[in-house]
Structure 1
Amino acid sequence: MERTTSSLGSSMRRYSLSISSHESHHHNIDNDAECESVVSEAGDIGDRALRSRRFSESNSIHLSFDNRSENGVVDVVYNQEEQRLQPHTTFSHPNSSVRPLPQELTSISPLSTDAIVGSEDPNQEPHKGLLVLLDYASCMVQLAVFGILGVFTRYLLQKLFGPGNAAVTSNHTLLYLDLPSNMVGSFLMGWFGVVFKGDIISNVSEHLAIAITTGYLGSLTTFSGWNQKMLELAVSGHWLFSALGFLIGMFLVAYSIIFGIKTAKGFRWLLNRLNMSSGNGNFKIKSKLDSCSCQFKVMVFFLVILVILWGVSGALVKAEFKHGGSAAQLWFACLVSPIGVWIRWFLARLNGRGLGKAGLFKWVPFGTLIANVSAASIMAALASLKEAVNTRDCDTVVAGIQFGLMGCLSTVSTFASEFNAMSESNQPWRADAYAIITICVSFSLGILIYGVPVWTRGFDIEA
């Protein structure tokens, strides 16, 4: 029996289950299907991360094999902390329930999943339902708060590098207004979305990791704003500037995340060296917020912050709305920006799933693709509406929705993370294909939605 367990243990260690895609995309992956899933999940997988974690925490997972002893079975237990399957021997119980493995684990597990032996207590269902609700509520509140902070940071970067100050970016050149925020967000994604994301999840909170990457960095960067500025250049006749704007923007964003990853790795190495010289070993900050009481306190804390942010934004919108201008647009954007973050987070569950039951084209992150294309299309439609109505109040509302809701629905930082993961995979051509599909589809739809009305109705646009 010891020999069987030892053999199974060595076999299990070859099949590591990694829920965090950031960690697995740095390893050499031989299985092409698994590589497709990992690459497409490099940025975000939405609420699938919460569902996978709740399943692994609810009960021990026992996978039954045919290698049995006389009275027991050899089982495999998933250890969340070490992220691998561990073997141990247990005795089957006649009342044990048999249930299928969830989709979140079957999509990444190479093991046979004919049966799972568990011992769930039906009396725990109401309590578990409250925990699920708390999990989602806490995550969505943090996403909203960090999303508003991302919008505010994007506005400050526009003003800092825009015509009124540094005069580096402009609406009239290929260096569009959102270029600095897209570069800064992609750089920070290399830090907190690739290198240090696992440390945040394991040592602090998975909600915080989601809030920083999906909430803050996803809202700090915007694809729809980038696409719209290039549309306006093209529609006004500057097609060369528009094409160069996409090429230069893509180049700068791609190298921003690479630079972020390299500097983050260098910083980690420096911290480890400093701690090793002082005899403390690897650098770690432990403040795990995984208990129900901690989650509730954190949710209440961020809920208070969200109410304050919404209250201040609402009051300032009321005060500034009659005057119009960028200030009124900013505060209106802060009110509606959480909606865009939430939609993008839920769409991210489509990443790594593929098309249909067969899961075709798993390497394409359809959640991010749909979010960026749809936000760019709606942005173009709103721009057409603003040109047609052409009133101060309409400009304030439309610009606020464009900057807040559409800016948060689309993202460049996640797009850059996925592009970088595809570039480092065993099929790097997918990165170029993904970028071309995203840009070409968004730009083509934008021409139909925004360009055609401008040309046919003769709107006077500034570009």
Structure 2
Amino acid sequence: MDIGTADSEPRRSGSFSCTSSANSSLRRRSISLSAAAPVHIDDDIESEIVSEAGDIGDRALHSNRHSESSSHRFSVDPALENGVSAPTSGDTLLHLNSYWSRDPPTMTTISVVTPLPEEIVSPLYTDAIVCSKDKKQVDKERLPKLLDYAFCLIHLAVFGILGVLTRYVLQKLFGPGVAGLTNDENILYLDLPSNMVGSFLMGWWGIVFKADISSVSDYLAIGLTTGYLGSLTTFSGWNQKMLDLIVDGHWVLAVLGFLVGLFLAAYSIIFGVETAKGFRWLLRRRNACTGSGTPSSSSNWRVDSFKRHLAVMVVLILMLGLLWGVCGALLREEFSSGGSGAQLWLACFVGPPGVWIRWFLARLNGRGLGRAGLFKWVPFGTLAVNVSAACIMAALSTGKKAVNSQTYDTVASGIQIGLGCLSTVSTFIAEFYAMRESEHPWRAYAYALITVCISFGLGILIYSVPVWTKGYG
């Protein structure tokens, strides 16, 4: 699929269909869209779609074991003679379930063929969409499961480290040393700029253009969204800064910090979606005038063969070795000084395992509780990593207060910076955004309240109470 492909031919009763196969065979399903009235999807199915808005982790690697012949169809696909142009494949993300656009002329109904209920395409998580491939060609492109895992893990590691480095740079750029806009003593906490930038980019790479990125490489889409954006943003750091405020008695500032942080992140992703849609529109206008941007041109960049996968793998392994080598050398040189540089280099080693754990636990999103699948609308995978990271962050902060050692402080602070990769604001806010635009917008605020209250409450028990009772300075 091409980023700038324009679909100028009106389609009245036909449907636009794409088969999601994947260079890595991460998922297989077909989507057919017809220009029609808004579709009414079963609440249980909508819950799964919304809760899988950010990621479904390694569940995507197992979907190809299901036969397409055993799949089932849901929803309605009536044809309307209204002359409305069918949306392009990139618009699938913008119109699926009416999440991203509520303009009546461009509303679509969705008819999805999918192996299992938990494999439903979500509005944000879209694996590689390759238009109408021959089944033999699809089978030829499949990679063994172990290679699938290896490719995912290496992409997550490299992009996770890049996310840590970017977060650190934004901390320094907007912190007291340079711009002076953020600090540890008010509601504009140090990680606020990175959370806003990550949420904005999620609107571009995770919503509007994710299908286009996936058409080049599934692993690139996973690396950019789950790896880079998930590591660029951090919920645990946000939660810990609010805990630091209440330790000093600033309860009102802590509450305002959560509200302001949620507000700015939510509007950052909205701004990202709107600007990305505008950019896509400009690309279409440009390509419509020049006649460029055909699907065949983008196929040259598609990583759809073992040789291309291997070439990318070699490059990323070299990058990972270089990054870890440089970080290790700098860590050895600066560790004795205990400065922020040593903490950053240590964080680059801690970050990748955090990303891997978060990606693995994302398989819980859209599953619900128990065999009955209760509360499918809650992304339990994202909730689990954010709460867990917040608790570990609080425990490390308590240790720093209790031990009061430069060596321990350096190690604990480095782990805390890297621990930001385990938690995520970009995925959290993408799920919040999808819920807010669904048929049950109250779920967005309930989800945010559950995440904040559990993380903050446990943080008080782990960090604030010991500091108050033991009198740590």
**Pair 1:16–1:268, CA change in 2 (3 A):** closer
Q: Name the amino acid aligned to 1:40.
A: S
Partner of 1:275: 287
Give the superposition deviation at 1:62: 2.8
Give the superposition deviation at 1:412: 0.2
Q: Name the amino acid aligned to 1:336.
A: V
Aligned: 1:407 with 2:423: no
Select 1:324's aligned residue among 318, 338, 359. Answer: 338
Instruction: Give the 5 Å matches for 1:219-258.
Output: 219-258=231-270
Q: Percent identity?
A: 62
Q: Is the 8 A contact 2:246 2:254 kept in 1?
A: yes
- CA distance in 2 between counterparts of 1:420 and 1:374 reads 22
Partner of 1:261: 273
Aligned: 1:352 with 2:366: yes
Partner of 1:31: 42
Q: Name the amino acid aligned to 2:439.
A: N
**Pair 1:448–1:208, CA change in 2 (3 A):** same
Give the superposition deviation at 1:61: 3.2
- CA distance in 1 between counterparts of 2:260 and 2:39 reads 30
Q: CA RMSD in A?
A: 3.1
Secondary structure (helix, strand or coil) at the match of 2:469 reads: helix
**What are the ranges of 5 or more consecutive residues in structure 2 without an aligned counterpart?**
1-13, 21-26, 33-37, 73-88, 93-113, 122-139
Q: Is the 8 A contact 1:147 1:219 kept in 2?
A: yes
Select 2:55's aligned residue among 44, 54, 57. Answer: 44
- CA distance in 1 between counterparts of 2:190 and 2:184 reads 6
- CA distance in 1 between counterparts of 2:187 and 2:337 reads 30
**Pair 1:282–1:169, CA change in 2 (3 A):** farther
- CA distance in 1 between counterparts of 2:71 and 2:383 reads 39
- CA distance in 1 between counterparts of 2:120 and 2:241 reads 44
Aligned: 1:425 with 2:438: yes
**Pair 1:224–1:104, CA change in 2 (3 A):** farther
**What are the ranges of 5 or more consecutive residues in structure 1 without an aligned counterpart?**
1-11, 66-80, 84-102, 111-126
Aligned: 1:293 with 2:307: yes
Q: Could you list the per-position Cα deviations for residues 369-411 of structure 1 after superposition, in whole angstroms to 9, with x for gaps in the alignment?
A: 000000001100010011111111100100000001x200000
Q: Is the 8 A contact 1:162 1:170 kept in 2?
A: yes
- CA distance in 2 between counterparts of 1:171 and 1:430 reads 31
TM-score by length of 1: 0.79
Select 2:376's aligned residue among 334, 338, 362. Answer: 362
- CA distance in 1 between counterparts of 2:17 and 2:369 reads 26
Partner of 1:381: 395
**Pair 1:138–1:412, CA change in 2 (3 A):** same
Q: Is the 8 A contact 1:134 1:296 kept in 2?
A: no
Partner of 1:209: 221
Give the superposition deviation at 1:290: 2.1
Partner of 2:146: 133
- CA distance in 1 between counterparts of 2:171 and 2:435 reads 30
**Pair 1:156–1:408, CA change in 2 (3 A):** same
Q: Could you list the per-position Cα deviations for residues 36-55 of structure 1 after superposition, in whole angstroms to 9, with x for gaps in the alignment?
A: 00000000000112222x44
- CA distance in 2 between counterparts of 1:64 and 1:165 reads 56
Give the superposition deviation at 1:279: 1.9
**Pair 1:250–1:141, CA change in 2 (3 A):** same
Secondary structure (helix, strand or coil) at the match of 2:116 reads: helix
Give the superposition deviation at 1:105: 2.3
Q: Is the 8 A contact 1:34 1:108 kept in 2?
A: no
Q: Between Structure 1 and Structure 2, how many residues are aligned?
A: 395
TM-score by length of 2: 0.78
Q: Is the 8 A contact 1:147 1:408 kept in 2?
A: yes
Give the superposition deviation at 1:31: 1.4
**Pair 1:29–1:218, CA change in 2 (3 A):** farther
Aligned: 1:62 with 2:69: yes
- CA distance in 2 between counterparts of 1:320 and 1:104 reads 52
Q: Could you list the per-position Cα deviations for residues 270-310 of structure 1 after superposition, in whole angstroms to 9, with x for gaps in the alignment?
A: 00000101123668733111222221221121011101111
Partner of 2:184: 171
**Pair 1:17–1:371, CA change in 2 (3 A):** farther
- CA distance in 2 between counterparts of 1:372 and 1:308 reads 30
Partner of 2:130: none
- CA distance in 1 between counterparts of 2:340 and 2:28 reads 39
Secondary structure (helix, strand or coil) at the match of 1:409 reads: coil
Instruction: Give the 5 Å matches for 1:333-348.
Output: 333-348=347-362
**Pair 1:458–1:427, CA change in 2 (3 A):** same
Q: Could you list the per-position Cα deviations for residues 89-147 of structure 1 after superposition, in whole angstroms to 9, with x for gaps in the alignment?
A: xxxxxxxxxxxxxx96243579xxxxxxxxxxxxxxxx999721111101100100000
**Pair 1:262–1:359, CA change in 2 (3 A):** same
- CA distance in 1 between counterparts of 2:71 and 2:222 reads 34
- CA distance in 2 between counterparts of 1:28 and 1:233 reads 46
- CA distance in 2 between counterparts of 1:13 and 1:276 reads 21
Select 1:310's aligned residue among 320, 324, 329. Answer: 324
- CA distance in 2 between counterparts of 1:324 and 1:20 reads 50
- CA distance in 2 between counterparts of 1:63 and 1:20 reads 12
Partner of 2:157: 144
- CA distance in 2 between counterparts of 1:377 and 1:324 reads 24
Partner of 1:5: none
- CA distance in 1 between counterparts of 2:424 and 2:206 reads 13
Secondary structure (helix, strand or coil) at the match of 1:359 reads: coil
Q: Is the 8 A contact 2:141 2:305 kept in 1?
A: no
Q: Is the 8 A contact 1:380 1:446 kept in 2?
A: yes
- CA distance in 2 between counterparts of 1:380 and 1:403 reads 13
Select 2:462's aligned residue among 449, 452, 462. Answer: 449
- CA distance in 2 between counterparts of 1:415 and 1:282 reads 35
- CA distance in 2 between counterparts of 1:109 and 1:201 reads 17
Q: Is the 8 A contact 1:272 1:282 kept in 2?
A: no
